[in-house]
Amino acid sequence: MREFQLKYGCNPNQSPARIFAEAGELPFRVLNGRPGYINFLDALNAWQLVRELKEALALPAAASFKHVSPAGAAVGLPLEESLRRVCWVGDLKLSPLACAYARARGSDRMSSFGDWIALSDPCDLSTALLIRPEVSDGIIAPGYAPEALELLKTKRKGGYAVVEIDPDYQPEALERKQVFGLTFEQGRNEQKISEALLRNVVTRQKDLPEGAKRDLLLALITLKYTQSNSVCYAKGGQTIGVGAGQQSRIHCTRLAGDKADIWHLRQHPKTLALPLREELGRAVADTVVDLYVSGNEADVLADDKWRDYFTKRPEALTAREKAAWLASFSDASLGSDAFFPFGDNVERAARSGVRFIAQPGGSIRDSLVMQAADRLGVTMAFTGLRLFHH
């Protein structure tokens, strides 16, 4: 197959629309449903991300994509009990690949609503069972176990998009993009992200544990496929906050840091004990939980809307309790796709438990940024590699 007809382009008024190979065959097969223009943008970017994560970290990888940026990405490490509850895993027995997707989806469940899923390995039944109840538009993987494929075909009233990618496909070294009738051409970003990028530690604090190295590489690879400007927080083999497409670096850092805080607050004992009504769908429950952890304690459920969501009125999570819980969070890692122009980025990151940073360096204020890291006990490496993606 050399081309695939799409329902429409980015918007319904943009027709006709198609995806096609200028030479040879398309490197994928559509096994179910009818993916759209944005679906394929998500699928092809997400596939590159998980393929590179697996190559770099030798673990199964998964990503949850929305609007051409990852809402979450992760590798297949086991989930502790609090994360199993946050990710709505229940008592499911999870394969390493399923663990990767649970983590990726759980990084930012609000943003992952209606996601496109990418898996580095063939989708097994364990992962399909995890995907089945989630609101998702489609999936791309290098293969599917027969029972997993049959289950996925039942989603969205049989219209769930399932794409099988050729894992051996390699595109040409040059890539092209059209804007306003004009064609841009550039070399593909084939820079391999490895531990060699973390050798230039520029701060007084030099410790860089193996877990931090893994998380920094995960953050950097995630940024390689995230719309710039972008910053990524990571911990435990998964992203916990991605700030994408902001014009200001500090706004990226704040946005991603706020998401990391919510991720951590979702694991607070009071949050885990919320008496949610069983009939709530996951999407509604996720929204209620996010409002609970991010709301002002004086306003939480003050208007009695709690009756719609809870079996009884829960205790508010106080500002003091939030501060204490967040203060207990440490050893997070952060990657930035370009240099930090000011030390305020380091200061904001440290408030969300960041102790390890990888960024390109090269700002005229590098010395001030390094001073901020030294003052806060943060280990920072200059990678020398910018990772803009548009």
Residues annotated as catalytic (active site), given as ranges? 66-67, 229, 390
Helix crossing, 344-351 with 249-265: angle to 10°?
10
Residues 6 or more apart from 255 whose CB is under 8 A from it? Answer: 231, 241, 243, 246
CA nearest neighbour of 219 among 381, 17, 35, 32? 381
CA-based nearest residue to 336, from 218, 232, 196, 208: 232
What are the Cα distances from residue 139, in Å, to 4, 16, 142, 321? 17, 24, 10, 39
Q: How far, in Å, CA of 355 to CA of 373, rounded? A: 9
Pairwise CA distance, residues 133 & 278, whole Å: 14
Going by C-alpha positions, the residue among 77, 162, 66, 159 that lies closest to residue 122 is 162
Evaluated on CA atoms 338, 343, 347, 350, the torsion sign reads positive
Distance CA 59, CA 56 (A): 8
Q: How far apart are CA 116 and CA 39, in angstroms?
A: 7
